[in-house]
Amino acid sequence: MLEDIFQSPTSVSLFGVFVALLLLHLLHSTFSSQKRPEPPGPRPLPVFGNLFQVDLKRLDQSLFNLSKTYGPVFQVYFGPKKVVVLAGYRTVKEALLNQADEFGNREITPILNDLTQGHGILFSNGDSWKEMRRFALSTLRDFGMGRKMSEEIIIEECGYLIKEMEQYGGEAFNNTQAINYAASNVISALMFGKRFEYKDPVFQNMVERDNETIHLMGTASIMMYDLFPWLGPFFKNWRNLMKNNEDSLADLKKLIADLKETLDPEICRCFVDAFLIRKKHLKDDEVKNSHYHDENLLYTVDDLFAAGTDTTATTLKWGLLYMAKFPHIQRCVQEELSRVVGSRQVRIEDRKNLPYTDAVIHEIQRFANIAPMALPHTTSNDLTFQGYVVKEGTTVFPLLTSVLYDESEWESPHSFNPPHFLNDEGKFIRRDAFMPFSAGRRACLGESLAKMELFLFFASLLQHFHFTPPPGVSEDEVDLKPVVGLTLTPKPQRLCAVHRL
């Protein structure tokens, strides 16, 4: 039969064209694979990958160091799992902003699936994530996030925090809990329509459990669990995380149930009310397969409560520690506050007239670098990035450490230097490489609220107190080494808050 085919001139021609096209395809594939290789990286070992070449206790620093060898786009293997790391401002910006859709999915690791079941905002994808994020943004804005209404909530909480610190009369104390409670009360007012007393045991447990959860999620044993989930029951941290999560959800369920019992669809008191009212309207309209169900409400509130407490409180704790460490900077802030604001309550509108104070707050965020690797992303499809092939579903670490400490963007990245945000005339300037809230589709949705909180809390505290190390401890002895978890927090340390006004 083959002989009959090859005896036909037309068949021979067609066969020749087919062979030529096949050869061209093979050549193109070979050329493309050579032209677009996978990102470089250290050679992995079987089973373990590059685990012996990184320090899981300070992974961001290990990856930052590797970027100096392998460049701004490289890959490492955590066990059998491949991760692409993006380093430096320009690379992270290109991925998260210029190719936001391709790099915009969240990686759902085994521990995140255990904790959220794919519900909520922080650790979800697809239509549910889009709808919950859209609803959260619009609802929080309706309740004044970043505007006058939330300013009043924050100023009221400033008063409670100042009274809490005044009771120590200038004696050394650990401010960790009070700052956590203050930040948590701001998001609680938006979530539940009320604040809690600092001595409320249920509130204390909720805040402390969330802080512990965020710490445990960044520990080496939980990273190992994500690689080898069958090891979970053998890890104490995993067991503690599961218990914390169970208890936290139980407390939130009770708060939500109390709001359900007193719900009036004509009066929207808070975020939970807004969700319940939307859910009722959809049910009345017989809309099926809605994303407005009890699980999404519970986990969205959990996400916002935890994130709204931890990041702001942690940044503020770093800020007070830096003021004790660098008293000359603290004096400059206080001189500006005294000159511009005096003894009255500082307001958000004062920020434009307080350039040095604003610069110090921005430098606190940059230098503290509390979310050094952001939260991991995954790619939504196959793509070529900076000449490298990255497959769909690849885990991606946008290394925010490398952005906030980028030597090509910051004059003295490894020093605490507020003039990073001031021009020669002493006016505040924005810096493109200032990216503590990440960027793109997964940027922090509470950024405007967090900025307002940081300014009002920090300025109010510096108005009222001068912060110093405890007696017998010099400025040089103030410890800036962080406690590593999902975020970088200061070690618990005592400070003195000496009254000024």
* Distance of alpha carbon 469 from the chain centroid: 29
Tokens of 159: 């008063």
Distance between CA atoms of 268 and 277, rounded to whole angstroms?
8
For residues 13 and 241, the model is more confident at 241
The reported pLDDT for the residue numbered 16 is 46
The tens digit of pLDDT for each residue in 274-297 reads 999 999 998 888 887 789 999 999
Residue list for the binding site: 444
Tokens of 338: 């005294």
The reported pLDDT for the residue numbered 488 is 95
Considering the chain, what is the average pLDDT of its residues? Answer: 90
Phi, psi for 81 (deg, rounded to 5): -90, 125
For residues 1 and 80, the model is more confident at 80
Tokens of 401: 């450490």
Beta partners for residue 45, in sequence order: 49
This prediction's pTM: 0.90
DSSP E strands, 70-123: 73-78, 81-86, 105-106
Work out the average pLDDT over 327-350. 96
Distance between CA atoms of 352 and 347, rounded to whole angstroms?
10
How sure is the predictor about 368, in pLDDT bands with cuts at 50, 70 and 90? very high
Q: Which helix (H) or strand (E) holds 499?
A: strand 494-499
Residue list for the binding site for heme: 444
The pLDDT of residue 193 is above 80: yes
Percent share of the chain, pLDDT over 90 = 81
Amino acid at 310: D
Nearest to 314 by CA among 183, 226, 193: 183
The pLDDT of residue 22 is above 70: no
Distance between CA atoms of 46 and 52, rounded to whole angstroms?
12
Distance between CA atoms of 460 and 464, rounded to whole angstroms?
6
The reported pLDDT for the residue numbered 308 is 87
The alpha-helical segments, DSSP class H, found in 36-88 are 59-70
The reported pLDDT for the residue numbered 396 is 96
Tokens of 323: 């003021």
The pLDDT of residue 25 is above 60: no
Residue-range domains of the chain with CATH: 31-112+371-404 (3.30.43.20)
Distance between CA atoms of 20 and 87, rounded to whole angstroms?
43
Distance between CA atoms of 379 and 100, rounded to whole angstroms?
10
SS3 category, 172: strand
Phi, psi for 190 (deg, rounded to 5): -75, -40
Distance between CA atoms of 303 and 300, rounded to whole angstroms?
5
Distance between CA atoms of 158 and 146, rounded to whole angstroms?
16
Work out the average pLDDT over 9-13. 46
Amino acid at 243: K
